Amino acid sequence: MAFNLEEVRPSRPSLPPTAEADAPAQSAIRAYLLSRGNSAVSDAAFRWLMLLSGLSIFAIIGIIAGELIAGSRLTLAKFGLHFFFGTAWDPVSGHYGALPFIYGTLVSSLIALIIAVPLSIGLAIFLTEMCPKPLRGPLSFLTELLAAIPSVVYGLWAIFVLAPILRDHVNPVLIHLLGWTGLFAKPNFGIGMLAAGVILAIMILPIISSLTREVMISVPRSQREAVLALGATRWEMIRMGVLRNARIGIVGAIILGLGRALGETMAVTMVIGNRPDIVKNLLSPAYSMASVLANEFTEAADSTYLSALVEIGLALFIITILVNALARLLVWAVTRGAPARAS
Amino acid sequence: MGVGIQVEHLNAWYGANHTLMDITLHIPANEATALIGPSGCGKSTFVRCINRMHETNPIARVTGTVRIGELDIYADVSPVEVRRRIGMVFQRPNPFPTMSIYDNVASGLRLNGFRNRRVLDEVVERSLIQAALWDEVKDDLKKKSGASLSGGQQQRLCIARALAVDPEVLLMDEPASALDPIATGAIEDLIHSLKGRFTIVIVTHNMQQAARVADMTAFFSISKGGEGERWGELVEYTTTETIFTNPADKRTEDYVTGRFG
């Protein structure tokens, strides 16, 4: 009973001969296909349409940048680069320096990231790897609901709920424990840089966590099994088999969250304190670029003032681009040589 | 050196599906044992029960005992400890795409806390030599990622990764089914060179492959009950030669001669 293919091969039924009845139908299909031509026109039209969509991005960016530069001609000519490094903002006496706003935007966004990144990655890990099934749906729904709340509502909540909590319960502890760093000191109003950072953290949490969850889910099961088979614990499996493969997507999620934090206007305006100072103390009032635009645009009586505000818009535009470029550079440096995603 | 595997009355389920029915099988140490059988007969589930990977699926369930050497893996230890002693190679090569070739091989050791560079270098080289991949990759160990290799090389990389932790048993779940004939030949040669040092259990749907690499062969089949239920069971387990030349069971004969499956 050794292998003898000829003997053991089961007899297979041969294919039925082409039925005569099918012939007319088949030739109709063939005739139709032949009559379609080479589709060169529709293909070219499609290509041009897509090219146009791609190029429109350049046009939009170009128009925005052009408008911002044109609108800030006056102050650009008058102060030059000093505008971006000046610390005094006094429209009455004609002093315009944007540094306090740049500082406020960057620091409040940084606080937001420091709070939101670990929290949202933790939430994403819990949702994808550990959450009991019945809880998974409601929890992701609630997380995504956070993203749908209008920012003015966040602002109101921050004024009436968050700021008093910070003032009465959190800030005293921070002053007591970390006062020596100089980052937390009296006077303790509740509103200020820290409050802005915390409300921003809550606002960007849903973006970062839901995108992180998506990339974690897309890591193939074979990667998790590869790590488990090596004798990994659950946490080691998540670290080596999931987070490592998802890291580029996670950085992308963080960049998107940061983008929202940098540009957020309403909620920040309501709790940051709106004082153009650069101080180390995170509990004192500060100001951000988007906030000063929202607050002072209607008050800009003379053309220099208006030009200064538009130039702050330009600065925000440039800083957003710079921060994004830097983040991408970071991703590139970390993952150099390694392919972007799991196979 | 490898150890033998004693499987007694093993039952496995996926949800309501009784995937494996009462399997008793003694796998000898330092030999290659092939598991063959039609799709759905539970041969993959069987190897996944040996390193407790089956239970990582939330709807999966196992009863019975499996002994690796003297160790009762379902009673004495945690699944993590079991998997540290047993290497596994999967159907599709699954190297870590974000790691270099070196880091792929070292991953099992690093996971368990090895940091000594000299030891790691040594183990990586030894494992890649054992997996017959060293000559092809030695010049770009740290430059190239695991995913940049060809399919056959990736699978040998995965074998090197499994060998690096010096397992007592090496499980291979259709390790060549995603590879071309030349890469398959390389994997089979590799299995030949590894048995004697490791206990190898290989699942394959390719009977010639089982005939070429295995000392012992187990034939699994699907049985059907009265009310539409079906389960996988062990039909025959003996030396590879006997299975292919003089099987005792009619079902085995039909399968190995190509009349079924």
How confident is the model at residue A1, as a pLDDT? 42
Tell me the two tokens of residue A97.
């320096």
**How many CB atoms within 10 Å of residue A20?**
7
Interface test with B, best of A230, A236, A240, A251 (most B CBs within 10 A): A230
Residue A321, pLDDT above cutoff 60 = yes
User: What does the alpha-carbon distance between residue A181 and residue A148 come to, in Å, rounded to a whole number?
Assistant: 37
How confident is the model at residue A37, as a pLDDT? 78
**Does A230 touch chain B if contact means CB atoms closer than 8 Å?**
yes
Contact B158 A226 (CB under 8 A): yes
Residue A336 banded pLDDT, cuts 50, 70, 90: low
CATH superfamily of B5-95+168-256: P-loop containing nucleotide triphosphate hydrolases (3.40.50.300)
Nearest-CA distance A321 → chain B (Å)? 28
Residue B213 banded pLDDT, cuts 50, 70, 90: very high
How confident is the model at residue A16, as a pLDDT? 54
Burial pattern B160-179, b for ≥16 Cβ within 10 A else e, equals bbbbbbbbbbbbbbbbbebb
Question: With a CB-CB cutoff of 8 Å, which residues 230-259 of chain B face chain A?
Answer: 244-247, 253, 257-259
Residue B240, pLDDT above cutoff 50 = yes
Contact B94 A228 (CB under 8 A): no
Report the chain B residue with the minimal C-alpha distance to residue A227. B108
CA-wise closest residue to B64 among B23, B17, B3, B19? B23
Residue A3, pLDDT above cutoff 60 = no
User: What does the alpha-carbon distance between residue B90 and residue A248 come to, in Å, rounded to a whole number?
Assistant: 26
Residue A10, pLDDT above cutoff 80 = no
Residue A8, pLDDT above cutoff 80 = no
> Average pLDDT for residues A276-298, to the nearest whole number?
92
Residue A135, pLDDT above cutoff 70 = yes
User: What does the alpha-carbon distance between residue B232 and residue A289 come to, in Å, rounded to a whole number?
Assistant: 68
Q: What would the pLDDT profile of B115-159 be if each residue is shown by its tens digit?
A: 889 999 999 999 999 888 998 988 888 888 888 899 889 999 999
Nearest-CA distance A129 → chain B (Å)? 12
How confident is the model at residue A80, as a pLDDT? 87
Upstream peptide bond of B58 is cis (omega within 30 degrees of 0) = no
> Average pLDDT for residues A269-292, to the nearest whole number?
93
- Chain B residues touching A132 at Cβ < 8 A: none
How confident is the model at residue A153, as a pLDDT? 95
> Average pLDDT for residues B248-257, to the nearest whole number?
89
Nearest-CA distance B215 → chain A (Å)? 17
Q: Quick check: is A155 in a domain?
A: yes
Delimit the domains of chain B by residue range: 5-95+168-256
Share of chain A above pLDDT 90, in %: 62
Q: What would the pLDDT profile of B66-82 be if each residue is shown by its tens digit?
A: 999 888 999 888 999 99
Report the chain B residue with the minimal C-alpha distance to residue A1. B245
> Average pLDDT for residues A140-147, to the nearest whole number?
89
How confident is the model at residue A14, as a pLDDT? 53
Q: Quick check: is A191 in a domain?
A: yes
Predicted TM-score (pTM) of this structure: 0.81
Residue A43, pLDDT above cutoff 70 = yes
* Of A3, A222, A232, Cβ closest to residue B92: A222
How confident is the model at residue A339, as a pLDDT? 45
How confident is the model at residue A17, as a pLDDT? 55
**C-beta of residue A154 within 8 angstroms of C-beta of residue A203:** yes
> Average pLDDT for residues A118-128, to the nearest whole number?
94
How confident is the model at residue A4, as a pLDDT? 52
How confident is the model at residue A327, as a pLDDT? 81
> Average pLDDT for residues A50-68, to the nearest whole number?
95
- The CATH number of whichever domain residue A132 belongs to comes to 1.10.3720.10
Distances (CA, A) of A219 to A122, B37, B157: 17, 31, 20
**C-beta of residue A210 within 8 angstroms of C-beta of residue A256:** no
Q: Quick check: is A265 in a domain?
A: yes
How confident is the model at residue A156, as a pLDDT? 95
Show the CA angle centred on residue B191, arms to residues B186 and B194, nearest 5°.
125
Show the CA angle centred on residue A79, arms to residues A78 and A82, nearest 5°.
170
Residue A34 banded pLDDT, cuts 50, 70, 90: confident
Q: Quick check: is A340 in a domain?
A: no
End-to-end CA distance of chain A: give it in Å, rounded.
43
Residue A335 banded pLDDT, cuts 50, 70, 90: low
**C-beta of residue A306 within 8 angstroms of C-beta of residue A298:** no
ipTM of the complex: 0.90
End-to-end CA distance of chain B: give it in Å, rounded.
36
Contact A10 B258 (CB under 8 A): yes
Question: Is the model more confident about B251 or about A343?
Answer: B251
Average pLDDT, chain B: 90
**C-beta of residue A327 within 8 angstroms of C-beta of residue A251:** yes
Residue A72, pLDDT above cutoff 50 = yes
SS3 of B72, please?
strand
Kindly state the DSSP code that residue A316 receives in the 8-state scheme: H
Residue A62, pLDDT above cutoff 50 = yes
Report the chain A residue with the minimal C-alpha distance to residue B253. A1
- Chain B residues touching A337 at Cβ < 8 A: 100, 143-145
Q: Quick check: is A114 in a domain?
A: yes
Nearest-CA distance B242 → chain A (Å)? 10
> Average pLDDT for residues A307-321, to the nearest whole number?
93
Q: Quick check: is A85 in a domain?
A: no
Torsion of CA B240, B242, B244, B250, to 10 degrees: -130
How confident is the model at residue A22, as a pLDDT? 57
Q: Quick check: is A79 in a domain?
A: no
Share of chain A above pLDDT 70, in %: 90
Structural domain span for residue A210: 99-299
Residue A182 banded pLDDT, cuts 50, 70, 90: confident
Contact B84 A339 (CB under 8 A): no
User: In which residue are the tokens 């304190």 written?
Assistant: A273
**Does B105 touch chain A if contact means CB atoms closer than 8 Å?**
no
How confident is the model at residue A2, as a pLDDT? 47
Residue A219, pLDDT above cutoff 60 = yes
| Number of domains composing chain A | 1
Interface test with A, best of B86, B89, B94 (most A CBs within 10 A): B94
Instruction: Render B180-240 in DSSP notation, one character per residue.
Output: -HHHHHHHHHHHHHHBTTBEEEEE-S-HHHHHHH-SEEEEEEEEE-TTS-EEEEEEEEEEH
